[in-house]
Amino acid sequence: MGDGSNVTNVRGAGGGPVTFDLTPTAAQHDLARRAHDFAEQVVRPVASDYDQRQEFPWPVLEEAASQGFYSPLFYRDLIGDPTGLSLPMFMEELFWGCAGIGLAVVMPALALSAIGQAASPEQMLAWAPECFGTPGDLKLAALAISEPEGGSDVRNLRTTARRDGDDWIIDGHKMWIGNGGIANVHVVNAVVDQDLGHRGQALFIVPGGTPGLDMVRKLDKLGCRASHTAELKLTGVRVPGDNLLGGQEKLEHKLARAREAVEGARHSGSATMGTFEQTRPMVAAQALGIARAALEYATEYANRREAFGAPIIDNQGIAFPLADLATGIDAARLLTWRASWMAATGVPFERGEGSMSKLAASEVAVRTTERAIQTMGGWGYVKDHPVEKWYRDAKLYTIFEGTSEIQRIVISNALGAADGKPPLHFDLEPTGGPLNRVLGRGTPARTQVASTALAMKDRVPAPIMGLAMKVLRPPRK
């Protein structure tokens, strides 16, 4: 699938590589193992304590930095994986440990992703290191998009930015901001042209401590309590023109195109919504980590807990729901990996594939954690076991990065726009070359050759017949 994968050893009839392969590369395999060890040995032992005290897990971040998991170069490297699978594999393992601590670790990566999509190379070099810092001198970053009135509706953002000489003045109200108010770098989304609505938005860097940037309160959350989430006010926040991501010339070009779209009465989606569609697989992978943790724990409990003289997993009432959830988790993972691969390879999200992955993963996470509590009965309801925490953590994933209802809107809109269009694989550029099109498996020519060979089996010498069958048989495992 990616560089280093054994996929290159599997050849198609046309001589080209077979492109569908789920074998991880050596680097991906090692990444998942190291992330799992970190989650098991560093994160899980302290997860309950940080959840109960709602304190930011600075020591865990320091250890993450020392192991290379808290660095802009690490996340840019994962994002650059041509298979798209490294980042979701890492996310699933980390969040298997704890979603709250996981969010604290990866939150700067969300800001970094926004900077990477909008910034100039010079801005990227200047601000990426400020999002993470270095071991012993850690820094934080925040992505400030959501607002009290907007929520999932990014077209309804009311924070504004206006020019004042060479500077920009930002005013607005942000809500549910991870690392908000304590971050060294805030990436703030604001409307610069109100006549253009959602098309007239831009991203700005607002350093922590800038006058007018105030944390109203730290939010008291149901779950993911080790991560810091806040309400922010921006009142007359002045930032230099260099803090406009992408620069003035790029903004003017974007606004000019937006005005043409408005004047031409053409439909244009929100750029932020497009960004969400590509980042939703990462959130889906986080939900998968929670779901997997709960399923494993409930299964182990059901194997060991005896009732009426036998392990409770021998009862279909216990075993069948777990089987359904295992199926749902694996299906959601495949949707997540497909969407991640699409984002990495530039395949357009025309059918809501990013939303599909997030919807499936978040919903199965809630179902799995609820079933884990039910499987354990009273023990699942108390803090002696972690399943009640995972239940609280999982609920976030049907809400943030677009609620489940928003995901269904995106998917249903895509269905309507497709108007009966066939599945994705019909539109993808085929591999294998001209020879594969003529002699690949299932082609008329290949079928005719096989039929002719079988018809002549009594008249063809055995060695030649054996060679023909060798060509036609399925590949060896």
Are 112 and 80 in contact, with CB atoms under 8 Å apart? Answer: no
Q: How far apart are CA 131 and CA 147, in angstroms?
A: 22
**Taking a C-beta distance cutoff of 8 angstroms, is the pair 132, 168 a contact?**
no
Residue 251 near residue 216 (C-beta atoms within 8 A): no
- Based on the residue annotation, tell me whether 149 is a catalytic residue of this protein: no
275-to-45, 338, 355, 432 alpha-carbon distances in Å: 35, 17, 12, 32
Render 51-82 in DSSP notation, one character per residue: HHHT---HHHHHHHHHTT-S-HHHHHHHHT-T
Q: Find where tokens 């082609």 sit.
A: 443
Closest CA to 181 of 217, 133, 151, 145: 217
Q: From the DSSP assignment, how many helices (H) and strands (E) are in the chain?
A: 17, 11
Q: Could you give the 3-state DSSP secondary structure of residue 389?
A: helix
Tokens 């997993």 — which residue?
A: 313
Catalytic residue among 62, 92, 401, 429, which? 401
Please calculate the CA angle 58-59-60 and round it to the nearest 5 degrees: 90
* Whole-angstrom distance, CA of residue 320 vs CA of residue 326: 10
Residue 186 contacts by C-beta under 8 Å, 6 or more apart in sequence? Answer: 111, 141, 142, 144, 177, 180, 205, 206, 207, 208, 213, 232
CA 318 to CA 121: how far, in whole Å?
A: 55
Comparing CA positions, the residue from 154, 79, 83 lying closest to residue 410 is 154
Q: What percentage of the chain's residues is helix, strand, coil (to nearest 5)?
A: 60, 15, 30
Supply φ then ψ for residue 299, to 5 degrees.
-65, -45
* Tokens of residue 5, six digits: 């994968």
Residues with catalytic annotation?
401
